[in-house]
Structure 1
Amino acid sequence: MFRLLALALAALLLGATAQAQTPVERHGRLQVSGTHIVDQAGKPVTLRGMSLFWSQWQPQYYNAATIKRLRDDWKITVIRAAMAVDSGGYRANPDAEMAKVETVIDAAVANGIYVIVDWHAHKPHAKEAAAFFARIAAKYGALPNLIYEPYNEPLATHAWKTLLKPYHQTVLASIRAADPDNLVVVGTRTWSQDVDEAAADPIADPNLAYTLHYYAATHKQELRDKAALAMQRGAALFVTEYGVTQADGGSSIDEAEARRWWDFLEASGISYANWSIADKDELSAAFRPGTPGDGTWTEDQVTRSGKLVRDQIRAMNAD
């Protein structure tokens, strides 16, 4: 009798311990296996979370309080630091932008979640990107939390073979010199939509996925078909940015299409981060204008987009 009670108590304690584990404690360093991202035990992992806005324009959310609230309340397992490169970003103010990124990384580590370090640019700056990621990899590369995104959204005019692939190989070499293990997610042509093209001419690296971006009210089945084709060609995908709105961030929300996308991502085992944690006056922002940046926002300060996305994340990350 007492032995049975002891065994039952031990099982409950083990279950409580498992539940208390953070996402990084549970999954460890992420790896690409075939067309999927898997954890340290080789089990498929789907991360669900949020992207911060351009760092130079919405710096108030680049802090530990915001990240903790998103982890505790929204149940995110990944946060994306969208470090601006141009328009007053890193190229003009490297120390200030680096400090914002490091604050987010430190907060993600403290909260046991994954963090995407995003070189948020539309134009290539290979030398500067390589130097930036070399610094990040040297300082944080030993941690399993880190995910690198070396080029947010290349333009349609940026050819994969002659510009983007060589760019990524240059930046990847600087990362791998200090960090041979963590996941790298590389941007693809046409605002990171031409994943099928990249999959047909892949970059040689054992732990690399391709970035897919979409906005549900603009990009529909045709883009899902491109994603499916990329996976058929052997590529692993990661949606580092998406919205439930039009691609311009405004105009309209398409909830039905957003749910079709979520169903596709879940069925395909593709991780996703929503754009964005911001109080900009546009439909894609998670917050209404004036929402505080200290983690104390109220329910009525969360937008329709924010509530849809939060409900999806909480439902899927319930375990």
Structure 2
Amino acid sequence: MKNEKVYIIILITITIFTSLIIVITKSTSPPEAGLAIEEIDGKKTLVDTDGDKIQLRGISTHGLQWYSAIVNNNAFAAFSNDWDANVVRLAMYIGDGGYAKRPDKMKELVIEGINLAIANDLYVIVDWHVLYPGDPNHETYQGAMGFFEEISTLYPNHPNIIYELANEPSEHGEGIPNDISGWRQVKSYSEPIIKMLRDSGNENLIIVGTPNWSQRPDLAAEEPIDDKNTAYAIHFYAGTHNDGQVMDNAKVALENGVAIFASEWGTSEASGHLGPFYEETDEWLDFLNKEQVSWINWSAANKLETSAVFNHDTSLDPGEDQVWSEEELSESGKFIRSRIRGDK
């Protein structure tokens, strides 16, 4: 009898432990969660495979041509486990010495970043970083179709991957106007890429940038792309975009039936400097969290600017313990880590 009781206790313990493993796996693995856009309570939002709302919170790299050292397993593990992020964004600049000049090197970094994200149970945004010039149709960006075709072929319909087709269309240089005609130029660029991805069986979430450095998802809502799994970018910097106008643009987009995704924002001014503006940032995050809008902070870098989450002398590899200490984080970094973790 005594041996039987011991056996039963052991069996129950194993069963409970196994059940816990299953629950933990299901709650942390992006493939289990899935991503789709559905309408709930009159607004488009991200949902999981059960149709429940899901919010992504995470961090963006700075330009991979400058800060490639962030692409390491210890860093991605730290974001996943210590920061409780569920998404990272790979900012692959096209200009500024990026993909247009070094396509093989930039693609290699993106592929390494994708693999590390998958290994650490993170969604990963593959960001085609349109910046200067501001028109995604400009000859600088002529490699877009081939790049997305190659990545989607390497990772066919992979549930971890999100495609961001145009970071920040703008009036800068040979850019686009901040009006509906500007949006039409972004739309005409994006639609063939989306068609290619869908025709080849890739159902991944897609984010499309909007005019005026991705501050105008309201324009996209006027003439949205005919694709059920496309969201529109809203970008803000708390010290600059705090007069309510950009937030109003986001609200109008939601009210007019499109999904939005805050794929880049910072605690500083748009220059990356001054601040951190904590009160203004929390006003934005309260809005995004209330509406279950996913968000990505800029940036996982040790650059000498306020928006960087690391101090200038901090290594972008946290080491084998896979944790950056409080002393290694900037003032923005301490704040961002707490907000990603939901400590507020």
- Using structure 1 for the length normalisation, give the TM-score: 0.92
Q: Equivalent residue of 2:342, what SS? A: helix
Cα displacement string for residues 211-262 of structure 1 (whole angstroms, at most 9, x for unaligned residues): 1101111112221111111011101011110111111110222101111111
Give yes or no for contact 2:31–2:160 (8 Å, CA) kept in 1. no
Structure 1 distance, partners of 2:184, 2:218, is: 16
* Deviation, structure 1 residue 171: 2.0
Q: CA RMSD in A?
A: 2.1
Output the amino acid matched with 1:27: A
Output the amino acid matched with 1:263: D
1:103 equivalent in structure 2: 112
Q: Equivalent residue of 1:245, what SS? A: coil
**Counterpart mapping for 1:1-319 below 5 A:** 13-21=18-26, 22-28=28-34, 30-34=35-39, 35-122=44-131, 123=133, 124=136, 125=138, 127-156=142-171, 157-158=175-176, 159-220=181-242, 221-296=244-319, 297-315=324-342
Q: Equivalent residue of 1:19, what SS? A: helix
Structure 2 distance, partners of 1:60, 1:179, is: 33
Q: Equivalent residue of 1:252, what SS? A: coil
Structure 1 distance, partners of 2:13, 2:247, is: 47
Give yes or no for contact 1:131–1:174 (8 Å, CA) kept in 2. no
* Deviation, structure 1 residue 161: 4.4
* Deviation, structure 1 residue 160: 3.2
Unaligned runs of 5+ in 2: none
* Deviation, structure 1 residue 276: 0.2
Q: Equivalent residue of 1:209, what SS? A: strand
Give yes or no for contact 1:184–1:207 (8 Å, CA) kept in 2. yes
Structure 2 distance, partners of 1:138, 1:39, is: 24
Structure 2 distance, partners of 1:108, 1:263, is: 27
Larger radius of gyration: 2
Structure 1 distance, partners of 2:268, 2:201, is: 36
Runs of 4+ in 1 over 6 A off after TM superposition: 4-9
Give yes or no for contact 1:138–1:179 (8 Å, CA) kept in 2. no
Output the amino acid matched with 2:240: T
C-alpha change, 1:303 and 1:103, in structure 2 (3 Å) is same
Structure 2 distance, partners of 1:160, 1:137, is: 28
User: How many aligned positions are there?
Assistant: 314
C-alpha change, 1:8 and 1:231, in structure 2 (3 Å) is farther
* Deviation, structure 1 residue 67: 0.9
Q: Equivalent residue of 2:235, what SS? A: strand
Output the amino acid matched with 2:24: Q
Output the amino acid matched with 2:87: V
Structure 2 distance, partners of 1:310, 1:59, is: 21
Unaligned runs of 5+ in 1: none
Structure 2 distance, partners of 1:54, 1:252, is: 22
Structure 1 distance, partners of 2:118, 2:302, is: 25
Residue identity (%): 35
Output the amino acid matched with 1:235: V
Structure 1 distance, partners of 2:198, 2:25, is: 32
* Deviation, structure 1 residue 315: 2.0
Output the amino acid matched with 2:166: Y
